[in-house]
Structure 1
Amino acid sequence: QKQLGLKRYEPVWSMVHKLRKAMGNRDARYTLEGMIEFDEGYFTIESSEIEQEKGIRGRGAVGKSNVAIMAESTVLEDIETGEKSNHCRYFKAKVLTDHTSEQINQTIQESISEKSILFTDKSTSYIDIADYVEIHITEKSNKETTTETLRWVHIAISNAKRNFLGNFHKIKGKYLQLYLNEFVYKLNRRYFEEKLFDRLVIASITGL
């Protein structure tokens, strides 16, 4: 607002959300492929007084929104040591309205190539995923899964939560996808440096 010399906050807020929408539209053009990590994270959102009075717990709890996080995870081998490790490439994030297998399947179809290998935990909502990818590999959810098999999705979830809390404190649920759009757009272009602004201009012109 100060940089643009505008007196009112509302036009700036509206413009930034349009940019976030353009970021999401640009990334929606692409699907993830290869080896993919998939998991869900619960993000803190602003809740109304009525919702707080209801006091729902567990999945769908008041003040929490479920988000599907996906990450391309490529195994690379160190030429000198022969050690193998997973390296991340591109990410996607989608706000989920529920935890049903139907919505999970739809998210997979929209976001991931059918020729991919998908890694998840053993959630019952993931039982049909094998119908939409080449191979579906499941592992029991534990500390080892978090640090190895699903490493990059959990790093992304932690970084996004920290980013939102530090910069925005609380986000209304209806705007959460827009903030995720921005986070993922920048994450996918983390090596663009000064070219990021030019790419955003192009995305804004073609993607609104």
Structure 2
Amino acid sequence: MERFCYMLGAQNATQKSREIIQLETRLANITLSDFDDQRKDISSMYNRITLDQLQSMAPGLHWKKLLERIFQESFSEDEEIVVLATDYLQKVSDIIKTTSKRVLHNYMLWRVVAALSEHLSTAFRSSIHEFSREIDGTERQMELGRLCLSQANKHFGMALGALFVQEHFPTHSKAKVQELVEDIKHALDIRLQELDWMDEPTREAARAKLQNMM
């Protein structure tokens, strides 16, 4: 981490890397495990609230402004949204309010660059790999050829899949898969008709979408 901060031009890289790790640790400590029982109880996690209520609940972020920037449209404070982790958002809000803007900015820069490190130079990729090895035990860095293939599949997966099917998937197998898909669509259509909590316009829209799949 320290080397990474130094490569980004940070002064006093040791201190800044320590601050980033401390913030990362605080965020990790408020994150529920995938095996936590609370994650399994969908009904308790489904919280339908307004933007105004969310702002009161977690004032550390300007939610209306953030969502308007993301979706490029205006929302009223009465706009209803579904929040799956109200407790987490409250704690994140508290962390944001008690963390300096400098540390928050450095942390965001670290997360963005780390996420895009596969597109950077070998030095950056090696630095990220060293950090990953210390955190989760990743022993071997992906070879450049495999990295390129992984990136191609990540961004053009459907196109590559289509080429693979054309080359290796016989026609009779495709017919069997299509038959299976139609059976699944039929079962889903019956399920949609039986749902008593869904209003009719939503049901018809869902059925139309189902018919247009594959």
Alignment TM class, shorter chain as reference: under 0.3
State the structure with more CA Rg: 2
Larger RCO (CA within 8 A; separation ≥ 6): 1
More strand by share: 1
Q: TM-score, normalised by structure 2?
A: 0.22
Q: TM-score, normalised by structure 1?
A: 0.22
